Amino acid sequence: MTNETDKFVVDVVYALPTQQKVIPVNVSPGTSAIEVVRLSNIVSFFPEIDLDTVKLGVFSNVVKHDQEILPGQRVEIYRPLIADPKDVRRRRADKAKDEGRANKVTGGRKS
């Protein structure tokens, strides 16, 4: 049985381009990342979050749902990517070639 004094506070963080939410949650040692997110009830503010497939992190490092959260950590909820970064870069390079800002053969900058 866990004493109330053993518990610690962990922040759950979720951000959109126009708003963010930080929810402090009081948890016991051994609590997993997904349990912390569930305890925060952040889904009531952002119903688009799918707790079964959501990617989680601790200070910008992706973690598994069952990762134990330690005192002083914060759980970050990551949004899915809108576009594949490789495709975006490829389109930008093709556009530069078409506009004459890049070498059509090598793709490098024109001198």
Per-residue pLDDT tens digits for 15-56:
998 999 999 999 999 999 999 999 999 999 999 999 999 999
pTM listed for this prediction: 0.71
Q: How far apart are CA 70 and CA 75, in angstroms?
A: 10
User: What pLDDT was estimated at residue 38?
Assistant: 96
